[in-house]
Chains A and B, each alone.
Chain A
Amino acid sequence: GAVVSQHPSWVICKSGTSVKIECRSLDFQATTMFWYRQFPKQSLMLMATSNEGSKATYEQGVEKDKFLINHASLTLSTLTVTSAHPEDSSFYICSAREIQGGRNSPLHFGNGTRLTVT
């Protein structure tokens, strides 16, 4: 089945530093990947849509200069949290959809990255 690998699974960083999270589709190609954030005891909120070869589309209220997204290939998207602050501590999850299926196909999710900023 379609597998999405996300790395790292957890990271602790100091305030002011930057953290990069990788999302890879292992056995399929994806022109579009999605990044979600989940705070404790809340649902998943879409942050941005990552498009291969073009700029990401950010949801309202998400700072594009703080959450840098790069979708350099059909199997890799990265999210960089720049100048992280404690309020950025959260669970970040990526997802991807197979090219062939289009919108009428399931999304496959990574296992998430738990970010703690001290």
Chain B
Amino acid sequence: GIQVEQSPPDLILQEGANSTLRCNFSDSVNNLQWFHQNPWGQLINLFYIPSGTKQNGRLSATTVATERYSLLYISSSQTTDSGVYFCAVDGNYGQNFVFGPGTRLSVLP
């Protein structure tokens, strides 16, 4: 089945810093989403982005489907950005929504 990798696994930032999270996938996809899981376990949908670039406030994401990767940019990070960021993909060949291992982000005041 499709493999999803994320890097880095852990990231510690000072408040105000910028960061880039990466998601690599092993096959072509119908769907790619980025999520933020908060400390209570709630999954917040950040972007639905099978291709192209989107921006939402301090966050933006770019997916280059032909090269099988996606990037999530966080600018001017805040302590409330702390948590785990997951990317998840739907493979083109029937594999249902597969999650990457996540990037655990800690933003320090």
Interface residues of A (CB under 8 A from B): 34, 36, 38, 42-46, 49, 91, 93, 95, 103-109, 111-112, 114
Contacts and interface: CB of A to CB of B under 8 A. Distances in A.
A111 B39 CA distance: 12
A108 B41 contact: no
Interface string B29-66: 01101010000011101001010000000000000000
Nearest to A48: B96
A46 B98 contact: yes
Nearest to B43: A109
Contact of A106 (B45, B98, B102): B45
Nearest to B90: A103
18 contacts: A34-B96, A36-B99, A43-B100, A43-B101, A46-B96, A91-B41, A93-B43, A95-B97, A103-B31, A104-B50, A105-B31, A106-B45, A107-B31, A107-B97, A108-B45, A109-B35, A111-B41, A112-B42
Task: Provide the main secondary structure of the chain B interface.
Answer: strand
B42 A106 contact: no
B86 interface: yes
Interface of B: 30-31, 33, 35, 41-43, 45, 48, 50, 86, 88, 90, 96-102
Nearest to B92: A103
Contacts of B41: 38, 91, 93, 111-112, 114
B48 A44 contact: no
Contacts of A112: 41-43
